[in-house]
Each structure stands twice: as structure tokens, then as C-alpha cells.
A and B are shown apart, each in its own frame.
Chain A
Amino acid sequence: AQKITQTQPGMFVQEKEAVTLDCTYDTSDPSYGLFWYKQPSSGEMIFLIYQGSYDQQNATEGRYSLNFQKARKSANLVISASQLGDSAMYFCAMRGGDFGNEKLTFGTGTRLTIIP
């Protein structure tokens, strides 16, 4: 069974500072994918970034980067130069690598608030 743990229910960060959102995972699958989604107050789920279990380098997408530490089973999201528009819920998720194991298992989320 797959499990995602997000231990920070809420975070407050000053605008323009960098922020790290924690995510640890547990799985017995040798191949898996890790994802981060953003859910603003409007409710939609927005895909941010993906990391594959066999990827040698950390994923980056603009101001988002994923600090992937496979041995520690952690996949923290780093947002550089935070903006007011980054205020939202952030969910870490994973899926298995096999066909038939495509479902995403989500963490409980972290509510990020950017302070002007």
C-alpha cells in the first residue's frame, strides 16, 4: 500500500522568501511517480511538478523545484521567491508504476499563506 505524509497543516511565509513544503512517502513499488498539486481557494487542482523514482536529477518547473531524497523517502516542494498568488493548499501525491496501479494517493495537504 502507498502512503503520503504531509506533516505541516499550515505555514505562513513572508512574501519573496523561499518556502519548503514537506512530503514523505512509503511504497514497496520499485517504480513510482511523485506529484505536487496546488489548490487555490477557487477549488481547482493544478498540477505543479512531477518526479519519477528513477530520475537522477531533481525536477524543476520555473519557481518550483522538488527536493527528492529517495533513501529518506522524501519529496519536498520548494517554492522560490514566494508571491501572494502562491497562497493555497498544496498536496503531495504518488502513484505506482504498474498498469492497474494508476490511482493517485494524496497527502492531507499543507495550507500555505503568503504574508505581504
Chain B
Amino acid sequence: DAGVIQSPRHEVTEMGQEVTLRCKPISGHNSLFWYRQTMMRGLELLIYFNNNVPIDDSGMPEDRFSAKMPNASFSTLKIQPSEPRDSAVYFCASSFGLAGGTDTQYFGPGTRLTVL
């Protein structure tokens, strides 16, 4: 079975440019998560969706960041305009979306973003 798919795997852009990261969750999973990993802050949740609806976006750093999930098999994370401090690895993860603490999240390979 295919795992979580992310594209691009690497992105190098210049400050001020728009960046769009893409994610395809595991088929049948109802929850989708966007995480960011940096040396300074570790792994932190940006936003997550359940059944395509945003549930918690409290981790989105500022208005420059936006995320959408137009259908069950696709999500985007957009940064506009990008800044050097946005340089990080962005992970997408998905899960069945079960309550009770038992739900396992499976991560994609990540997108390494470098903003010059």
C-alpha cells in the first residue's frame, strides 16, 4: 500500500516567493496533519483536518500560512510570502481519525524547504 505522499521533496526559493507544499494521505484515512520540524522548535503541529474540515489551526504561525483540504485525497500548505525563518522540514501525516488515543499517525517523507 502506498504511504503518505508529499511533493516536492525539496524546495529552494527566494524570500517573498509563494511556496505550495502538497500531500496525499493514505487512502481511507480521515485525519490529516501538517507538522514542521526545526532545530530550534523541534516537531510542532501546524494544522490538522478531519473529514476535510480544519479542526485545530492554532499552530499556524501567522497569516502568511494557509492550508486547504479540498477532498479526502489531497491537501496543500501554502506560504505567501515566504521568509528565511520558514526554512524547515514540513511533514504531512495521516490517520484513521479515531478517538480514544489509539490512532496512529503515519508520516510522509517530508518536504525540506529552504528560503534564501
Contacts and interface: CB of A to CB of B under 8 A. Distances in A.
Interface of A: 29, 31-33, 35, 37, 43-47, 50, 52-53, 91, 95-100, 102-104, 106-109
B82 interface: no
A33 B42 contact: no
A103 B101 contact: no
Chain B interface helix/strand/loop/mixed: strand
Contact of B102 (A33, A46, A107): A33
Contacts of A99: 50, 99
Contacts, number: 71
A91 B43 CA distance: 10
B30 to A, nearest CB: 10
B42 A106 contact: yes
A44 B91 CA distance: 9
Given A45-B107, A106-B42, A109-B42, A100 B56 contact: yes
A52 B102 contact: yes
A102 B109 contact: no
Interface residues of B, number: 30
Contacts of A106: 42-44
A96 B48 CA distance: 14
Contacts of B45: 103-104
Given A102-B50, A104-B105, A109-B42, 5 more contacts: A37-B107, A47-B104, A97-B101, A102-B55, A104-B43
B103 A33 contact: yes
A33 B105 CA distance: 11
B8 to A, nearest CB: 14
Nearest to A96: B101
Contact of A50 (B48, B56, B93, B104): B104
Contacts of B112: 43
